[in-house]
Amino acid sequence: MKKPIRIAALLTATAALALPVPGPARGDEAPPAASTKHANLLGYTQFPQRDGESLYKSVCAACHMPDARGGTGAGYYPPLAKDANLAAWGYPATLVMNGSKGMPAFRTMMDDAQIAAVVTYVRTHFGNAYTDKVSVDEVAALRKAQ
Amino acid sequence: MDKGASILKRRDLFRMIGAVAGSSAMYQAMTSLGLAADSQYAGPIKLQGAPKGTKVIVLGAGWAGLVSALELRDAGYTVELLEYNNRVGGRAWTIRGGDTITELGGETQKCGFDPGLYLNPGPWRIPYHHRGYLDYAKRFGVALEPFIMVNYNAYVHSDAYFGGKPQRFREVQADFHGHVAELLAKAARQDKLDQAVSKDDQETLLEALKEWGALDKNHAYVAGHDSAERRGYAVNKGGGLMPDPVGGPPIALADLLRSDVWRALTFGQTHQWQSTIFQPVGGMDSTPKAIGKSLADITTLNAKVTAIHQDDHGVTVSYVDARTGKDQRQAKADWCVCTLPLTVLSQLDVQVGAEMKAGMNALSYFTAVKTGLQFKRRFWEEDDHIYGGITFTDLPIRQIAYPNFGYNAPGKGVLLGTFAGAAPGFELAALSAADRVKLAVEQGARIHPQYTAEFETGVSVSWHRSPTTMGCAAAWTPELRAKHYRNLAELNGRVILAGDHLSNLVAWQEGAILSALDAITRLHHRIVAA
């Protein structure tokens, strides 16, 4: 699926999946439920970073790697470097929001401005040059539409 | 640091009440998520009447795959077991000196721990009511030892309060209970609880609060003998002409509330973490290794599954050598038990129904990072008198867990220097393993300054960089469960899924065991009925 996806088609697709909003993940054996408040004993579920680069380095790089080349094991993390799937911003924005196939949903962990910032960053770095800026309002509309 | 204005929001109050009342409210909330449910293990499984020559292929040799392969083989089925790793056990894994770990992205660590020391990077404790696990451990002769969940002398640490000085759990708990008991006693004596408690019961309540909160004869929580018997003494009891014991001043209620340290109090009260809790002697991989040994003749390691196809006649699984990506092979069977994590399975060429696929795609995994650190000496015991158990902190490392074996011995020790999830988990997961170890040492040194001089070597596991699981465990929500759980758990043609992700005990080994037993029982009934 290495081709740009139109936003309208994408919205339909995600609406059909009706991906629900995940709450704070409480893994039984994993660290206990986190509060949204920063820095307390239970951790926190909202990233404090505001700019695209910091968000990428603090979140996305965990799987897509600091140089955006992804990784392959039993499954794989797609590279984001030189990625034609990023042509339409709605595709990465929807994935960041809802997750899919191993990609976690970050809609409760990032607000609209953070999603816009990190998507803009990825679309303008790592050999990607999609210069149309993702606006916070558009991300907010996308969130609402789902 | 004035958080005063926000401290007594209702949410906090509820949480506080939870801490006071034995967390019954929180427990109820957790039960609704299926997290506090007891094991429904009903004793060793008995599958009778397996048709001769019927073959089942089992994918994944973690707990669910091992249990499935073992029990189906013992029931008379022909079984083939495929595993991606060069070992069995999946996340039930132990890292020891000499082990090599390569994470996604290619970073390779060589563990430098001394003999006998280890890190359990995945599951690390077994509650007494996980009866399935205990049964398999007994069947395979694996010795258990206690896992200390609550250590009264371990620390609760708030980086921004108490000058960053860690507080003893016993002091935090005694003082929090004491202050709350005093408040309630005050309310009761001012007849403010008349509507909730009858006049007769109020006398008993006051007596109970005095006992429970270690209040003095005036129902006050103050420095002195009563409180010191709970929180410990500033000058301890001695003998002969040693100084008399002295009780220290309690931490002020406002400081307890504002610093958030009270959040540490309920960990050991929730059902999954109540005493008694066990760990296998020598490492968490002991039991899966023992089961795997009995399945060696039917197990193929280093097998990366690429496709699962099925038709009316059977299942065909394609796989390659996980180390080279080459040597394409096919294995055929009549039925398939697939225990691969959904993060991986959703990316493969799998012939199952649309509803099962939707579930596979929708469920992502939460993250977790664990870092093990080896020190030249067990300073947490020698200097700080902490034997096993867990220190909680609001620093990104979240927890320091001390080894639950080898107490009071001279020499080195390995502790768990990080156990992070949620947002801090991702922030750490995004670092290189070398940086995760460095950060664990730097942050841990704010609680134990001895870290700096005594640290020797460390290893770190970021579960989202695990080539086999690509995450820690399934992040179910009530909504996701309502929509996808049954579709994922039902037999789909000739393929049935199993694993902790298909249980109400996600991320617990018991969840994988119960899921596997349930899946193979349903599969067996389907086969026998045909």
Domain assignment present for A62: yes
Domain assignment present for A2: no
The answer to whether B248 and B215 are in contact (CB under 8 A) is: no
Domain assignment present for A9: no
The answer to whether A43 and A31 are in contact (CB under 8 A) is: yes
A18 to chain B, closest Cα gap in Å: 9
Longest dimension (CA), chain B: 87
Name every chain A residue with its beta carbon within 8 A of the beta carbon of B33: 26
Residue from B173, B267, B366, B436 whose CB has the most chain A CBs within 10 Å, to mutate: B366
Tokens 């004035």, residue located? B2
Domain assignment present for A7: no
Residue from B265, B321, B394 whose CB has the most chain A CBs within 10 Å, to mutate: B394
Name every chain B residue with its beta carbon within 8 A of the beta carbon of A50: none
Q: What is the pLDDT of residues B84-118, one digit of tens each?
A: 999 999 999 999 999 999 999 999 999 999 999 99
pLDDT band of residue A146 (cuts 50, 70, 90) is confident
Name every chain A residue with its beta carbon within 8 A of the beta carbon of B503: none
Residue B187 vs residues B99, B194, B209, B214, B278: alpha-carbon distances, Å: 60, 9, 12, 17, 42
Give the pLDDT score at B379: 98
Residue from A17, A28, A109 whose CB has the most chain B CBs within 10 Å, to mutate: A28
Task: List the single residue in A31, A42, A73 with the smallest CB-CB distance to B263.
Answer: A42
Q: Measuring CA to CA, which residue among B487, B496, B515 is closest to residue B335?
A: B496
Q: What is the model's pTM?
A: 0.89
**Token pair for B293:** 């040994």
A45 to chain B, closest Cα gap in Å: 5
B25 to chain A, closest Cα gap in Å: 15
Task: List the single residue in B360, B394, B398 with the smallest CB-CB distance to A31.
Answer: B398
Name every chain A residue with its beta carbon within 8 A of the beta carbon of B473: 27-30
Q: What is the pLDDT of residues A14-56, one digit of tens each?
A: 333 322 223 333 333 433 344 444 456 666 778 999 999 999 9
Q: What is the pLDDT of residues B46-65, one digit of tens each?
A: 999 999 999 999 999 999 99
DSSP letters, B170-222, are: HHHHHHHHHHHHHHHHHHHHTTTTTTTS-HHHHHHHHHHHHHHHT--TTS---
Question: What are the start-end ranges of the E strands in B380-500?
Answer: 389-393, 399-402, 413-420, 455-462, 473-474, 495-497
Lowest mean pLDDT among B5-9, B277-281, B449-453, B460-464: B5-9
The answer to whether B88 and B288 are in contact (CB under 8 A) is: yes
The answer to whether B290 and B333 are in contact (CB under 8 A) is: no
Give the pLDDT score at A41: 67
Give the pLDDT score at A43: 66
Name every chain A residue with its beta carbon within 8 A of the beta carbon of B84: 73-74
Task: List the single residue in B159, B348, B421 with the smallest CB-CB distance to A27.
Answer: B421
* Distance (Å, whole) CA A92 – CA A108: 16
Task: Name every residue whose Cβ is closer than 8 Å to that of residue B525 and which is 6 or more positions away in sequence.
Answer: none
Task: List the single residue in B394, B422, B462 with the smallest CB-CB distance to A31.
Answer: B422
Q: What is the pLDDT of residues B462-491, one digit of tens each?
A: 999 999 999 999 999 999 999 999 999 999
Domain assignment present for A106: yes
Name every chain A residue with its beta carbon within 8 A of the beta carbon of B344: 74-75, 102
Q: What is the pLDDT of residues A59-72, one digit of tens each?
A: 999 999 999 999 99
B123 to chain A, closest Cα gap in Å: 6
With H, G, I as helix, E, B as strand and everything else as coil, classify residue B443. helix
* Distance (Å, whole) CA B389 – CA B371: 16
Q: Do A47 and B426 touch (CB under 8 A)?
A: yes
Mean pLDDT of chain A: 78
Task: List the single residue in B125, B366, B464 with the smallest CB-CB distance to A25.
Answer: B366
Q: Do A28 and B429 touch (CB under 8 A)?
A: no
Q: How many helices (H) and strands (E) does chain A have?
A: 6, 2
Give the pLDDT score at A40: 62
Name every chain B residue with its beta carbon within 8 A of the beta carbon of A26: 30, 33, 35
The answer to whether A105 and A24 are in contact (CB under 8 A) is: no
What's the whole-number mean pLDDT along residues B35-55? 83
- Phi-psi region for residue A60, left (φ > 0), alpha (ψ -120 to 50) or beta? alpha
* Distance (Å, whole) CA B124 – CA A13: 40
Task: List the single residue in B361, B424, B506 with the smallest CB-CB distance to A44.
Answer: B424
- φ/ψ of A63, rounded to 5, equals -115, -45
Task: List the single residue in B104, B393, B505 with the smallest CB-CB distance to A73.
Answer: B104
- φ/ψ of A90, rounded to 5, equals -65, -30
With H, G, I as helix, E, B as strand and everything else as coil, classify residue B329. strand
Fill in the amino acid letter for B460: S
Q: Do strands B303-310 and B315-321 pair parallel, antiparallel, or not at all (unpaired)?
A: antiparallel
Q: Do B342 and A19 touch (CB under 8 A)?
A: no
Name every chain B residue with its beta carbon within 8 A of the beta carbon of A66: 430
**Token pair for B208:** 């109970």
Task: List the single residue in A22, A74, A99 with the smallest CB-CB distance to B304.
Answer: A74
Q: What is the pLDDT of residues B395-436, one digit of tens each?
A: 999 999 999 999 999 999 999 999 998 888 999 999 999 999
Nearest CA in chain A to B473: A27
DSSP letters, A50-115, are: -SHHHHIIIIIHHHH-TTS--EESSSEE---TT-GGGSSTHHHHHHHHH-BTTBPP-TTTS-HHHH
Q: H/E/C letters for each residue in B105-123?
A: CCCEEECCCCCCCEECCCC
Name every chain A residue with its beta carbon within 8 A of the beta carbon of B364: 22, 99-100, 102-105
Q: What is the pLDDT of residues B266-276, one digit of tens each?
A: 989 999 999 99
Name every chain A residue with its beta carbon within 8 A of the beta carbon of B367: 62, 104
With H, G, I as helix, E, B as strand and everything else as coil, classify residue B414. strand
CA B218, B221, B224, B228 torsion: positive or negative? Answer: positive
Name every chain A residue with its beta carbon within 8 A of the beta carbon of B464: 62-63
- Phi-psi region for residue A18, left (φ > 0), alpha (ψ -120 to 50) or beta? left
The answer to whether B261 and A41 are in contact (CB under 8 A) is: yes
Give the pLDDT score at A14: 30
pLDDT band of residue B307 (cuts 50, 70, 90) is very high
- φ/ψ of B461, rounded to 5, equals -120, 120
Residue from A55, A63, A64 whose CB has the most chain B CBs within 10 Å, to mutate: A63
CB pairs under 8 A between A and B: 185
Domain assignment present for A3: no
Fill in the amino acid letter for B45: I
Q: Measuring CA to CA, which residue among B469, B21, B477 is closest to residue B212?
A: B21
Name every chain A residue with its beta carbon within 8 A of the beta carbon of B158: 41
CATH code at A133? 1.10.760.10
Q: Do B260 and A102 touch (CB under 8 A)?
A: no
Task: List the single residue in A34, A47, A62 with the smallest CB-CB distance to B462.
Answer: A62
Task: List the single residue in B156, B429, B507 with the smallest CB-CB distance to A27.
Answer: B507
Q: What is the ipTM for the molecules in this complex?
A: 0.87
| Neighbour-count burial of B17, counting CB atoms closer than 10 A to its CB (0-12 exposed, 13-18 middle, 19+ buried) | middle
With H, G, I as helix, E, B as strand and everything else as coil, classify residue B527. helix
Q: H/E/C letters for each residue in B221-287?
A: CCCCHHHHHHHCEEECCCCCCCCCCEECCCCCHHHHHHHCHHHHHHHHHCHHHCCCEEEECCCCCHH
Q: Do B430 and A58 touch (CB under 8 A)?
A: yes
Which residue range(s) make up the domain with A70?
51-146
The answer to whether B380 and B153 are in contact (CB under 8 A) is: no
Domain assignment present for A93: yes
The answer to whether B360 and B488 are in contact (CB under 8 A) is: yes
Give the pLDDT score at B261: 92
pLDDT band of residue B43 (cuts 50, 70, 90) is confident
The number of domains in chain A is 1
* Distance (Å, whole) CA B138 – CA A18: 45
Q: Do A44 and B423 touch (CB under 8 A)?
A: yes
The answer to whether B465 and A62 are in contact (CB under 8 A) is: yes
Domain assignment present for A41: no
A136 to chain B, closest Cα gap in Å: 22
CA dihedral B37, B42, B44, B48 (to 10 degrees): -130
* Distance (Å, whole) CA B344 – CA B350: 11
